[in-house]
Amino acid sequence: MTPTGRTRIDNTLAELKSSGIRLRSISIVGHTDPIGSLEFNQRLSVARANSVRDYLVAQGVPANIIQTEGRGPSELKVTEADCRAQGKAKNRTALIACYEPNRRVDIRAAGEQGG
């Protein structure tokens, strides 16, 4: 997990705590770019989701409300065609940089106002 990712999670948890929201469930989905084998990317996407889960648990979020999933490169935000259209697929380094939005973790949380 990147320092920026940790900061975003910390800020969100602080906002939830200050607003009195009690978390009921959290879904964490890891994603990858399409570079590499499908098997490798699947494992990597699961590892990304689990890394976020572990961080949340370390911050006091109950593990039993967290579900993780890895989807590998199945839900790309940027395709090779997109990169080519932007002129960013000229070499491997440029393509890797263009694919950056695909390397992510999506987090969805459900909660209720505490009382």
Q: Note the pLDDT tens digit of each residue in 76-103.
A: 999 999 998 988 888 889 999 999 999 9
pLDDT in tens, 1-34: 889 999 999 999 999 888 988 899 999 999 999 9
Compute φ and ψ for 33, nearest 5 degrees.
-85, 175
pLDDT in tens, 35-49: 999 999 999 999 999
Per-residue confidence at 59, pLDDT binned at 50, 70, 90? very high
Was domain 3-75+102-113 assigned CATH 3.40.30.20? no
- 76's enclosing H/E stretch is none
Strand ranges for 71-114 from DSSP E: 105-113
Domain coordinates in residue numbering, the chain: 3-75+102-113
d(CA 10, CA 115): 23
